[in-house]
Structure 1
Amino acid sequence: MCKLVIASINMSKAIAILTGFLFALISLDSCAGYSAHGRPPRPITDAVLARQLVHQSNWAAVGSISHNEKTTDYPMVNVIAVDDSALNGSSTGRVHFLLADFDFTGADALHNNKVTFFFSEEQTGSCNKRGVNPMEPACPRIMISGRVHKLDTKIPEYNDYMEAFNKRHKHSKIWVEAHNFYLSELEIDNIYIVAYQGGPRTINAEDYYNAHL
C-alpha cells in the first residue's frame, strides 16, 4: 500500500512538472508575436549595433519641441537627411545633417536645440524581408537624444564633413546654394536601444563613439 501511495505521489509530481514545462513553452510561444526571431544573428554589442544603424541610414525621423504658433509646445516630427561618413566612406558615428531656419526642425532648434533622432533597421527594408514588423524588438531601433550644433565653416574638418555628406546626398549642394541650408551635428547626450531581448537599454555617448564596426 505504501509503495502505491509513493508511486501515486511521484506520478502526481511528474505530471505537475510536465504540465508546468508545457505551459512555459506555450507562454514563450505566445510571446513570439512581439519578440519573434528575438536573437541577434551574431554576437554584437549594443554600441556597435547603434553605430551600424546610424551608418546604414540615409535619413532619420527627428523629434523637436515645436515653436510653431499652431503647435507650440507639442512634439514636432520631421524627416532629415543624415550622414556619419568619413571621406573614405567609413563610419565616424558623428551624425551630420543639413538644417534651414524656415524648416520645422531648424526653426525649433533656434529656440530649443534639444532633439531626438530615430533610426530603425527597417530603413533599409531588411526587417520586412525577414518577416519582422518594425515595432518588434527583432527589428532593432535606437533613439538618440542630444542637441543641435551648427558647425562653424572655418573648422579644419568642415570641408571634409560637407564633401562626405554631398557624396551620399547628391542634391544637398542645391539645398545649400538655393535655400541656405547649413551643416549641423548632433551633440549626443543619451542613446536608447531596443533590440532583440531585454527591453530598452541605454548606451552612453563615449561607448558609442569608441565602438568599431
Structure 2
Amino acid sequence: MRVFQMQRLAIILFLYAVGGLEISIPSLPSESWKAALVCRHIMHESDWISIATLSTQNAIKGYPFVSLESMSDGPKTNSTGVPYLYMTPLDTPSIDIMNDDRVSIMASLAQSDYCKKENLDPEDPRCARVMISGTFKKIEKSFPEYDFALMSLFERHPVMRKWPKGHAFYPAKIDIQQIQLFDNFGGVKQVTPKEYFDVNITNILNMNLNFDKIFIVDVTTV
C-alpha cells in the first residue's frame, strides 16, 4: 500500500469519495493524477514563488537570474492553478521578460511550517516542491480575466492596493508549458498542463476542514 503524506488533502478526498460531493476523482487514481493534485495543493498554498528569467544585465547577460514575486492562483476558496503575479516594469524580472518572455517558477512546502514540523530540510525531496516553466503574459485591462486576477492577488496580498501608482503595476500570469514535481526520493515527476488543470481542488477547499496531517491512500490496496 502506497501512502502519500501531505497537509489537508487525503481525508478530505476520502470524504468526497463517500459523500457524493462533486469532484472528479478517478476510481483508480493514477500516479500522474496524484502528482497533479500535489502540484495544485502546493501552488494554492503558496503566497510567493521564485522566478527565473534570462538576464539582460550587462555583467551577466544571458545568465539565469532568480528573483521573488508574490503570487496567487485565486482566492482562498477558488483555486485555478494559474500563477497570477503583480508586476512593475521597473523590476528586474520585468526588464528581462521584455527581452525574452520565457520563465521558470518554483513553489515549495518549505514556505509553510509543514517541513519544519516534519523535521524535513527544505532540500529533502519529501519537502515537496513544484517547478513550472512557461511564458510570461501580461493581462491587459481588456482581457476577461483582468478583474479576477486583481481580485485574486489583492485578497492574498491586501497591501498591493497601496503600492505606488507611479510604478505602473499590472497583473500577469504564466502560460504553463511544463510542470515537474519533486515530492519523494527517486527523481522528479512530470505532470502535463492538462493533468494539472483537470484536478480541481476548489470544492475541497470549500469544505473548510483543517487537519495537521492527512494521507492520500490508494484504497484499492487496503
Q: Same fold (TM over 0.5)?
A: yes
1:139 aligns with 2:103: no
SS of residue in 2 equivalent to 1:110: helix
Residue correspondences, number: 175
Aligned mates of 1:194, 1:155 — CA distance in 2: 34
Q: Which moved more, 1:164-173 or 1:183-192?
A: 164-173
Q: Per residue, is there more helix in 1 or in 2?
A: 1
Q: Distance in 2 between matches of 1:207 and 1:153?
A: 29
| Cα deviation, residue 157, structure 1 | 2.4
Normalised TM-score (structure 1): 0.77
Task: Please state whether the residue corresponding to 2:197 is helix, strand or coil.
Answer: helix
CA apart distance, 1:39: 5.5
Q: Is the 8 A contact 1:82 1:96 kept in 2?
A: yes
Aligned to 2:194: 206
Q: Aligned pair 1:69/2:34, yes or no?
A: no
**Which of the residues 95, 110, 130 maps onto 2:98?**
110
Pair member with larger Rg:
1
Match of 1:18 in 2: none
Residue 192 in structure 1 maps to residue 180 in structure 2: yes
Whole-angstrom distance in 2 between the partners of 1:41 and 1:189:
27
The 3 A distance-change label for structure 1 pair 203 and 166 is same
Distance in 2 of aligned mates of 1:74 and 1:157:
33
* RMSD, aligned CA: 1.8
Aligned-pair CA distance for 1:176: 6.0
> 1:55 aligned to 30, 33, 44, which one?
44
Q: Does structure 1 residue 150 correspond to structure 2 residue 114? A: no
Contact 2:80 2:200 in 1 (8 A): no
User: What are the superposed Cα offsets for residues 82-129 of structure 1, whole Å, 9 maximum, x if unpaired?
Assistant: 00114x632010110011222111000000011100110011121011
How far is 1:147 from its partner? Answer: 0.6
**Distance (Å, rounded) in 1 between the aligned partners of 2:200 and 2:102:** 27
Are 1:39 and 1:197, in contact at CA under 8 Å, matched by a contact in 2? no
What does 1:3-18 correspond to in 2, within 5 Å? none
- Runs of at least 4 residues of structure 1 off by over 3 A? none
Distance 1:183 1:97 in 2: 6
2:148 match: 160
Contiguous gaps of at least 5 residues in structure 2:
11-32, 202-222
Amino acid at match of 1:197: F
Residue 182 of structure 2 corresponds to residue 182 of structure 1: no
Aligned residues with identical type, % of pairs: 25
Pair 1:89-2:77 in alignment: yes
TM, length-normalised to structure 2: 0.74
Q: How many angstroms apart in 2 are the aligned matches of 1:135 and 1:114?
A: 25
> What's the CA shift for 1:152?
1.5
SS in 2 for 1:82: strand
Q: Which residue in the other structure is 1:41 paired with?
A: 5
